[in-house]
Chain A
Amino acid sequence: MAMQPISAPERIETAPSAGFMQRQFLDYRVPVNLNAFWSFGLLVAFSLAVLTVTGIWLSLYYVPGPRQAFDSIQYILRNVPFGWLIRDLHLDGTTMLFGAVYIELFRGIYYGTYRNGRSAVWLLEVLRFFLLLCTGFFGFVMVFGAASYASLMIMAAHLGALGRILLAGYGVNPATMPRIETLHLLAGLLALGVAAVGFAASRAAGTANPDGIPAVGEADRIPLHPYYTMRALFALVVFMFIFAIIFTFQPNFAGLHEAAPGTPALALPIDPLPPWYMLGFHGLARAAGSFGFGTFLTILAFLLLAALPWLDRGTVASCRYRPSYRGFVWVLALDWILLSFGAALPPTHIATIICEAATIYFFLHFIIITPLVTGFGRTRPVPPRPGMRRFIRTEQV
């Protein structure tokens, strides 16, 4: 998203076609007290743009077939000019996207951005997360390395009868990969659509802020440009710098095991690990023990995340002013990392126990802890207007 970093010439600013950009990106007024977490919307948008463009480019040479899929990607990497660059940008773009998406979700939970009439925005954010994970999964399968094959089979088993529709039969056959490719595009486009609607909904409801109170007054808000544009641009440059580091040194950070083609695969790789951003859900499935229960827990996890605006019983939205809930939110984040960690371990007794414990805590957080702690937990006085936290503190002293 190339936002205008410098004030455009008068001629462009007054052109009618520039009106939308002017209203939404330059003159749009945002709360005075936004912190670095509020740059992540732009970072998600940037990642989505990178993935969309590189995805279109890759589709020009990708061949969906049980054998051709793997070979066509190798062909792109080796024999198409700059194919390696575009494939690696797509591959590492997923790491950047999910990094930003996870942080954005954490921001929502921590600062209670789903409050103050923004529950629709939150629902769209969770739906977008779900669609992006679907896109990521189908993209991972499209590589059709040995781990992709294993993951596809495991997913088909989780989905039961739907799995047969996913595979177009009982196993991988010539009809399978075209529908995986179509699903990748479909889920990706839907995610883009939901992201756009979510953006509009967020603008309609007004940008949230770290104090968790509505910013309605004129003095509570300042124009996006120039006060936040340079800051957003700086965040983008830092984000791209991390992108470049991963691209340069760990292009396979997402964990695509693509050293061997997926078929014929009567022998599976030892550890068909999904990419890191799916490890948490992998952990839920591991803790569940059976395919059916694993599917149930995954759906439940998404539903509970979506239900957060109604599970939160507090009068205060932001964890800045509810210290007891704040601790639990941090524990939830660590719990998710632990769950991912347990899912990445070899399948030992210890790994299963880690996954089970982390899964139990995860559901405990949403079902018990959130309603109780937000309802009865300790709170601190909320500033009268956004960005007046310092004023409150001095008053207390």
Chain B
Amino acid sequence: MALNAGIERESGAAPEAAHGEPRRDFLKILIGSTMAVGAAAVAWPFLDYLGSDADARAQGVVDVDVSPIAANSGITVRWRGKPVFVRRLTPKQLAAVQATPMKDLIDPASFASRVSPGGESWVVLVGLCPHRGCIPLGNKPSDPRGPYDGWLCPCHGAAFDAVGRVRRGPAERNLPVPPYRFASPTMIRIG
């Protein structure tokens, strides 16, 4: 109010010294805080709007019916714009991946950490090579699966085993496992 005060003195009036001053200060504070509350109430919908809309939210969760998948075969589904491999393993493949010693792995991960409890014969992986993001081969019957009976990246030759652990470079990490659970014995809910 420094400048204002000067001008007011010039024009011969001194409202600052007038009566009712404490009341107006209180009013000003009350008005200011009321307006702040109002501004916050208006800001909230505008921020919420920028979050996801209903269709985008719907894409975040995908249900996959796994009953038609035969042992030793897989399907590719789309989840949040990425390919997701779902493969059913044979008992022989399960025994092989369980028998692999941890010291042989580039990115050590136990068998149990790669599958969902109760659905151990199912492997669910995000099908993007951790090296440069190519889609590894091995999900179609005609595809090569590489030396470890899993997936083989066509770009730089990274090889993965049957639960998606990297066994040969250049990739340094395993194929990621998306969050999923069995909604029913034949239905996987990814997301």
Whether A and B are associated in the same complex: the answer reads yes
- List residues of chain A with CB under 8 Å of any chain B CB: 2, 5-7, 10, 13-14, 22, 26-27, 29, 53, 57, 60-61, 75, 78-83, 85-86, 218-219, 222-223, 225-226, 233
CB nearest neighbor in B for A5: B31
B28 within 8 A of A: yes
Residues in chain A near residue B28, CB distance under 8 A: 5-7
Residues in chain B near residue A233, CB distance under 8 A: 31
Residues in chain B near residue A78, CB distance under 8 A: 54
User: Is there an interface contact between B4 and A83, defined as CB atoms closer than 8 Å?
Assistant: no
Rounded to whole angstroms, the CA-CA distance of A142 and B163 in the bound complex is 52
B3 within 8 A of A: yes
User: Is there an interface contact between A79 and B53, defined as CB atoms closer than 8 Å?
Assistant: yes
Which 10 residue pairs across A and B have the least CB separation, nearest first?
A82-B45, A6-B28, A79-B54, A80-B53, A81-B48, A6-B32, A82-B49, A85-B45, A7-B1, A79-B53
Minimum C-beta distance from B186 to chain A (A): 30
B104 within 8 A of A: no
User: Is there an interface contact between B53 and A219, defined as CB atoms closer than 8 Å?
Assistant: no
User: Is there an interface contact between B29 and A6, defined as CB atoms closer than 8 Å?
Assistant: yes
Residues in chain A near residue B3, CB distance under 8 A: 13, 22, 26-27
User: Is there an interface contact between B53 and A223, defined as CB atoms closer than 8 Å?
Assistant: no
Rounded to whole angstroms, the CA-CA distance of A219 and B30 in the bound complex is 32
Rounded to whole angstroms, the CA-CA distance of A261 and B7 in the bound complex is 60
Rounded to whole angstroms, the CA-CA distance of A223 and B55 in the bound complex is 53
* Interface contacts beyond A79-B53, A80-B53: sample of 15 additional A-B pairs, CB < 8 Å, sorted by A: A2-B39, A6-B28, A7-B1, A10-B2, A13-B2, A14-B2, A26-B3, A27-B4, A29-B7, A75-B55, A81-B48, A85-B45, A218-B10, A219-B11, A233-B31
Minimum C-beta distance from A118 to chain B (A): 24
Minimum C-beta distance from A28 to chain B (A): 11
Residues in chain B near residue A26, CB distance under 8 A: 3-4
User: Is there an interface contact between B46 and A82, defined as CB atoms closer than 8 Å?
Assistant: yes
B51 within 8 A of A: yes
Q: List 12 A-B contacts (CB under 8 A).
A: A2-B39, A7-B1, A13-B1, A26-B3, A53-B46, A57-B46, A60-B49, A75-B55, A80-B49, A85-B45, A86-B45, A226-B4
User: Is there an interface contact between B35 and A5, defined as CB atoms closer than 8 Å?
Assistant: yes
- List residues of chain B with CB under 8 Å of any chain A CB: 1-4, 7-8, 10-11, 15, 28-29, 31-32, 35, 39, 45-46, 48-51, 53-55
CB nearest neighbor in A for B51: A81
Residues in chain B near residue A83, CB distance under 8 A: 49, 53
User: Is there an interface contact between A226 and B31, defined as CB atoms closer than 8 Å?
Assistant: no
CB nearest neighbor in B for A222: B11
CB nearest neighbor in A for B31: A5
User: Is there an interface contact between B49 and A86, defined as CB atoms closer than 8 Å?
Assistant: yes
Minimum C-beta distance from A3 to chain B (A): 10
User: Is there an interface contact between A223 and B4, defined as CB atoms closer than 8 Å?
Assistant: yes
Rounded to whole angstroms, the CA-CA distance of A27 and B5 in the bound complex is 10
CB nearest neighbor in B for A83: B49
Residues in chain B near residue A226, CB distance under 8 A: 4, 15
Residues in chain B near residue A60, CB distance under 8 A: 49-50
Residues in chain B near residue A22, CB distance under 8 A: 3
CB nearest neighbor in A for B44: A82
Whether A5 touches B49, Cβ cut-off 8 Å, given contacts A222-B11, A223-B4, A223-B7, is no
Rounded to whole angstroms, the CA-CA distance of A68 and B73 in the bound complex is 40
CB nearest neighbor in B for A22: B3
Whether A6 touches B31, Cβ cut-off 8 Å, given contacts A13-B1, A27-B7, is yes
User: Is there an interface contact between A86 and B46, defined as CB atoms closer than 8 Å?
Assistant: yes
Rounded to whole angstroms, the CA-CA distance of A136 and B15 in the bound complex is 45
Residues in chain A near residue B48, CB distance under 8 A: 81-82
Residues in chain A near residue B46, CB distance under 8 A: 53, 57, 82, 86
Which one of B10, B11, B31, B49 has the highest number of Cβ atoms from chain A below 10 Å of its Cβ?
Answer: B49
Whether A57 touches B7, Cβ cut-off 8 Å, given contacts A6-B31, A79-B54, is no
Whether A5 touches B32, Cβ cut-off 8 Å, given contacts A79-B54, A86-B45, A86-B46, is yes
Residues in chain A near residue B8, CB distance under 8 A: 223
Residues in chain B near residue A7, CB distance under 8 A: 1, 28
Whether A225 touches B4, Cβ cut-off 8 Å, given contacts A57-B49, A82-B49, is yes
